[in-house]
Chains A and B, each alone.
Chain A
């Protein structure tokens, strides 16, 4: 596989469920990101990991919990979400962080919270 792969593509969950999003990059990049994309709004940065260390937490509620076991894998653990959390969640990677980073995005997870 090449590029950035994300699973699942679609996820429907109730407010009491616990689920996880998975991302894997095969580009040899050092930085990985979680973004949230809601309709008609700009992409919102949630978390950044650089060399598997968290470097950014953009005031994200604790019901979103990231995990980065190594530079190639990134998870987003979800629990007790709210309906307003329904959105497209995008994983991305870049060669470096806080350089002239060019982002490579995964296909995204379309999340619906009922």
Chain B
């Protein structure tokens, strides 16, 4: 059973700090990696995607991928209370199936 693992949290950080969210996956042949943000009572929204090893930056968000270690992370710089949400990691595996993690709940304290 191919899996995507995330710590459920909550991860609590003070406003202005860097929030680091991690995700590991079991299928070494996985190809594409996505981060979705889901506010309470709302639907998931795609915020980042990464296909190659290394870092990808978009505004305050940085996605990091390490295929050798089978992990992908999301860094949020200068965290704001409005970043408080559940962050879902999704991985497209070697059979082109998109597998979601259970999500990490992030709380940014004012």
Interface set of A (CB-CB < 8 Å, partner B)? 40-43, 45, 90, 98, 100-108
Could you show 25 A-B contacts with beta carbons less than 8 Å apart? A40-B102, A41-B102, A42-B99, A42-B103, A43-B90, A45-B97, A45-B98, A90-B43, A90-B44, A98-B96, A100-B51, A100-B92, A101-B92, A102-B34, A102-B46, A102-B49, A103-B34, A103-B44, A103-B46, A104-B46, A105-B44, A105-B45, A106-B43, A107-B43, A108-B42
Quick check: is B107 within 8 A (CB to CB) of the other chain?
Answer: no
Q: How far is the CB of A40 from chain B (nearest CB, A)?
A: 6
Instruction: List the B side residues contacting A43 at CB < 8 Å.
Output: 44, 88, 90, 100
Q: Is the interface of A mostly helix, strand, loop or mixed?
A: loop
CB nearest to B3 among chain A residues = A42
CB nearest to A44 among chain B residues = B100
CA distance A42 to B8 in the complex (A): 11
Chain B interface residue count, Cβ-Cβ cutoff 8 angstroms:
24
Number of A-B contacts (CB under 8 A): 42
Q: How far is the CB of A90 from chain B (nearest CB, A)?
A: 6
Name 13 extra pairs, CB < 8 A, besides A42-B4, A43-B90, A45-B98.
A41-B102, A42-B103, A90-B44, A98-B96, A100-B31, A100-B32, A100-B49, A101-B92, A102-B46, A103-B36, A103-B44, A105-B44, A108-B43
